[in-house]
Copies of this chain bind each other. A is one copy, B any other.
Amino acid sequence: MQYRFSGRVAGMQSSVIRDILKLAQGSDLLSFAGGLPDAKLFPVLAIREAAARVLTDRPADALQYGPTEGDRQLREWLCGQAAAKGTGATPDETLLTTGSQQALDLAVRALTEPGDAVLVENPTYLAALQLFGAYGLTVIPVASDERGPLPDDTKRLIQEKRPRLLYGVPTFGNPTGRTWSAERRTAIIRLCAAEGVPILEDDPYSALRFAEEEREPSLFSLAGSCKGSPVVYLGTFSKMVAPGLRTGWAMGDAEVIRMMAKAKQASDLHSSALDQRIIVQLLRDFPLEDYLRDVSREYGRRMNLMQRELASHRIEGLRWEEPRGGMFLWLTLPEALDAEALLRATLRKGVAFVPGAPFFAGVPEKNTARLNFTGMDDERTVAGIGLLAEAISEFLARS
């Protein structure tokens, strides 16, 4: 039989980069391409103990059908965390999801119609751009710099385009590692609140913070209470505990959460109850804050190593921004260098990374690249950066 597919999925971009990287897969590859935390750092023992405890004490809670909104105790814990950061939130203002990707999907389902405009900081998270495309949204980039979206441009675009959403990763963003400044945060919230534009604050990385002292409040906590808040906050345990447990959440105005839960009920009834119970147990028995401090310190060390190695090759015109957390270093290559061409060259040397172009809405800056620094050990990082530098130098020598 011949199938006809919906425009929704048939039109979804399969990324060229993804295809190139798929061809190049292999365990010997030195890869800066992924966005994976280091599995060697997962709190495996604590997770195993939590699983055993959950399946001994109250197995039915982990194995039976559960509420669409998710485990109540986990939602209560999240509310406690939000309260500690200054935002009152109740379990009814909280929805557990299959990773924060699903929280994003449900928010878009609840808040947009095909043809609507959505503003994004630029560049931004690739899978969000793909999702917006799949829902038939018109993606409009806001002029952005290291401190976040520019308020003037945001204001102009809101008034011209009447967007239904503004989307961003304000803390240790993907792909740039950038963090919006406190002033920008306040300005963007004010603008969106005044104009009635919901903000989706995608915040997977804020727990991976290299320096304790610096700490911008989330947009969500700046906005105050959940009720009527312009911010829908999207969080995840993927980078705090482990992504295989697929547990994320959304927090925001109760009505938004209720609509997202309606969409979720039709999508999958609910997310894994076992995963949620394991996390509840872990949060009781395991010193998560200490663990996150250690993991963050280690990732910070790896980021510094990467920077040092990049600097050591003294390549003229190569720049990067130093992230204060997260998983990515954002490179700007010498101006004429197309990162996709560079990728083909580095793959021949056994090194992978992600060119920056696909992360841009609108005109891409082709001489940009995203390097992940969390996934490999020091030796492989040093070797990989060496080969990357070699490939760049070869390009420069030829031009």
Which A residues contact B (CB, under 8 angstroms)?
1-10, 12, 14, 36-37, 39-40, 42, 44, 47-48, 51-52, 55-56, 59-66, 97-99, 101-102, 105, 109-113, 127, 130-131, 134, 164, 193, 196, 198, 228-230, 238, 242-246, 253, 255-256, 259-260, 262-263, 265-275, 278
The CB with the most chain B CB atoms within 10 A, among A62, A101, A198, A255, is that of A62
Question: Which residues of chain B are near A14, meaning CB under 8 Å?
Answer: 262
Which residue from B2, B66, B238, B263 sits with its C-beta under 8 Å from A244? B66
Query: Residues of B contacting A59 with CB < 8 Å?
Result: 39, 42, 44, 47-48
Complex Cα spacing A98 to B99, Å? 12
B residues near A164, Cβ cutoff 8 Å: 4
Contacts known (A63-B44, A266-B12, A266-B127); A5 close to B259, Cβ less than 8 A: yes
Cβ-defined contact, B244 with A64, below 8 A: yes
Closest to A231 in B: B1
- Known A42-B64, A47-B59, A98-B271; further 7 A-B contacts with Cβ < 8 A: A3-B198, A12-B262, A12-B266, A36-B65, A39-B59, A48-B59, A127-B266
Interface centre among A112, A229, A266 (most CB of B within 10 A): A266
A14, closest chain B residue (CB) = B262
Q: Are B256 and A3 in contact (CB under 8 A)?
A: yes
Cβ–Cβ < 8 Å partners of A37 in chain B? 64
- Report the minimal beta-carbon distance from A296 to chain B, rounded to whole angstroms: 18
Interface centre among A9, A14, A109, A113 (most CB of B within 10 A): A9
Answer whether A10 and B259 are a contact pair too, CB < 8 Å, given A1-B196, A273-B246: yes
In the complex, are the beta carbons of B272 and A98 less than 8 A apart? Answer: yes
Check if B105 sits within 8 Å of A268, measured CB to CB: yes
Number of copies: 2
Whether the pair B55, A48 counts as a contact (CB closer than 8 A) is yes
How many Å from the CB of A96 to the closest CB on chain B? 12
Q: Is the interface of A mostly helix, strand, loop or mixed?
A: helix
Q: What are some 27 contacts across the A-B interface (CB < 8 A)?
A: A1-B193, A2-B196, A3-B111, A6-B112, A6-B113, A8-B109, A8-B110, A8-B263, A9-B110, A9-B262, A12-B263, A39-B64, A42-B64, A48-B59, A51-B55, A63-B244, A97-B268, A98-B272, A99-B269, A101-B268, A127-B265, A243-B273, A246-B269, A246-B273, A272-B275, A274-B275, A274-B278
Give, as a whole number of angstroms, the nearest-CB distance from A375 to chain B: 10
Report the nearest B residue to A61, measured CB to CB.
Answer: B244
Cβ-defined contact, B130 with A274, below 8 A: no
Task: Determine if B268 and A110 form an interchain contact, defined as CB atoms under 8 angstroms apart.
Answer: no
Q: How far is the CB of A164 from chain B (nearest CB, A)?
A: 8
Q: Which residue in B112, B130, B246, B269 is a CB contact (below 8 Å) of A270?
A: B246
Tell me if A268 and B102 are in contact (CB < 8 A): yes
A50 nearest CB across to chain B (Å): 10
Which residues of chain B are near A243, meaning CB under 8 Å? Answer: 63-65, 273
CB–CB B102/A267 < 8 A: yes
Most buried by B among A2, A111, A127, A272: A272
On whether the beta carbons of B246 and A6 are closer than 8 Å, the reply is no
The winner among A6, A42, A253, A278 for most chain B CB atoms within 10 A is A6
In the complex, chain B residues whose CB is within 8 Å of the CB of A7: 113
Q: Which residues of B contact A8 (CB under 8 A)?
A: 109-110, 113, 263
Residues of B within 8 A of A260 (CB): 9
Nearest 8 A/B pairs, CB to CB: A244-B273, A39-B60, A63-B242, A98-B268, A48-B55, A102-B268, A63-B244, A272-B272
In the bound complex, how far is the Cα of B1 from the Cα of A1, in angstroms?
49
In this complex, what residue of B is CB-closest to A133?
B266
A61, B268: Cα distance in complex, Å = 23
